[in-house]
Chains A and B, each alone.
Chain A
Amino acid sequence: MPDTAYFHATDLVQLGLLLLIPLEILVASTARVRAEYDLRDTLANIAMSVGSIFFWGMYSGIFMTAVWFAYRHRLADVPFNAWSFVIAFVLEDLRYYLWHRISHRSRWFWASHVIHHSSQHFNLSTNLRQSWTSQFSGLILMNVPMAFIGFHPSTVALAFTVNLLYQFWIHTETIDKMPRWFEWLLNTPSHHRVHHASNARYLDANYAGVFMIWDRLFGTFVPEQIEEPPRYGLVKNLGTVNPIRIALHEYVGIARDQARRGLSLRQRLGYFFGPPGWRHDGRQTTTASLRAAEAARREQSGGAREMRHA
């Protein structure tokens, strides 16, 4: 079991990372680097963070009970040392990749995660825009298998925390690209800008937490292209900074779709667990349909250009 000193260290790191936000604003004010802040947007981010901490505190007991239950019925005893922590960290990162991918591909889970993507700005304060319902969606139980294998719940929690702390610095436009080896192996601001973009080309890509290898391995890696700057936010953006509306808008959308009359069970399940933007009447805005429309547009404009040349 890891010593409490490790957790105190992560608290200090967290405070240090928070200091980077005003630093980014200061540096960006010199106009040497790119970073866009908006007062209302940043205040909404802070409000979402406060709410997230509050609800995490309220409901984490349920999740921890499940983790402890699994640990009591563990398959083996994994001691806490440097090697076991490395293994735990890699496993946790794979868990994060899977969790993240499901969170983007199924509307029920997206309803919780969409909060983090709802800002049209991308800066260090975007980190703070966190879900209020992550415990509620059920995916938090994906942490249970590690405890069942035999990793102590504190080790699981430490790996989880370190993974999230790593992801703080990648929410920025101030850093263009890291060295090539770094870009290949690890998640970087460039990769994460793609992940937060709503351009059809960039949708549903780069789910990695720390190691980019998961995206490369499972075919979800998309590099940032200079000719197509990311447009941050959602396909259908929010027109509010009200934290309650930000936190619940997709759930309200699900409820409204479920209230439609005359839907089959299959269609109702589609509105619940189908990909975000799915519609029963064919007027979809899913990633696949948006990419198809974009490809058709490009082909059309390419054809028109060819005709002009001829």
Chain B
Amino acid sequence: MKELLFSIGVNLVLGVLLFALLLWKRRPDTVRLLSETDALAEFQRHYPEATGTATLSADGLAALIETASGPGLLVAHARRWNARMLAAPELTAVSARDETSLELRFADFGWPRARLRFADRETASRCRARLETLVRSGTAAPADLHHA
């Protein structure tokens, strides 16, 4: 019993210490896209052959990349970036959360959704229209862009 209490106590102290340290260390703005060039460069780390234009989210935590092979997505995850080419059937739905925000749903248990908040209504509705076309068309993922 003593050993159990000792273990619980030590782990509790450690947990609190760890949590406090993490809160203290937390710097939420360490990964942010500052420009289209930033977004493209980051996307190319995942898809080295990709070229195109980027539409940044208002908070700099995501971007839609329009490549010659179709649209791609770049999203901050922890302090890293995740990227994927967007195509049906992996992209299952696009919905508006409000006037400037979109929610993308994927048929991927390990990455089920992504949220993007744009600077204005026009950009959000343009991106939504583009992605909805993609979902409706049922076009399969492009085969000519290879993941790094």
State the A residues within 8 Å of B (CB): 11, 15, 18-19, 21-22, 25-26, 28-29, 36-42, 46, 118-121, 125, 200, 231, 233, 235-241, 245-246, 248-250, 252-253, 256, 283, 285, 290, 293-294, 297
B109 shortest CB reach to chain A, Å: 4
List of 8 A-B pairs having minimum Cβ-Cβ separation, nearest first? A239-B111, A249-B110, A38-B78, A252-B109, A120-B80, A41-B78, A238-B110, A25-B21
CA distance A239 to B10 in the complex (A): 32
Q: How large is the interface on B (under 10, 10 to 19, 20 to 34, 35 or more residues)?
A: 35 or more
Closest residue of B by beta carbon distance from A41: B78
State the B residues within 8 Å of A (CB): 3, 7, 10-11, 14-15, 17-18, 21-26, 45, 48-49, 75, 77-80, 82, 84, 107-114, 143, 146-148
A11 touches B7 (CB 8 A): yes
Residue of B26, B77, B109 near A253 (CB, 8 A) is: B109
A22 touches B82 (CB 8 A): no
Known: A245-B110, A283-B143, A285-B147. A239 touches B77 (CB 8 A): yes
Question: How many pairs of residues, A versus B, come closer than 8 Å at their CB atoms?
Answer: 96
CA distance A41 to B15 in the complex (A): 15
CA distance A248 to B11 in the complex (A): 27
B78 touches A120 (CB 8 A): yes
B77 touches A120 (CB 8 A): yes
CA distance A41 to B22 in the complex (A): 11
What chain B residues lie within 8 Å of A256 (beta carbons)? 107
Known: A22-B17, A36-B79. A240 touches B110 (CB 8 A): yes
CA distance A22 to B23 in the complex (A): 12
B6 shortest CB reach to chain A, Å: 9
A22 touches B110 (CB 8 A): no
Closest residue of A by beta carbon distance from B6: A15
What chain B residues lie within 8 Å of A39 (beta carbons)? 22-23, 26
A47 shortest CB reach to chain B, Å: 12
Interchain residue pairs with CB less than 8 A apart (8): A18-B14, A39-B22, A42-B18, A121-B79, A231-B45, A236-B147, A238-B111, A239-B82
Known: A240-B110, A240-B112, A245-B109. A29 touches B25 (CB 8 A): yes
CA distance A297 to B145 in the complex (A): 12
B14 touches A42 (CB 8 A): no
A38 shortest CB reach to chain B, Å: 4
A22 touches B78 (CB 8 A): no
Residue of B24, B82, B148 near A200 (CB, 8 A) is: B148
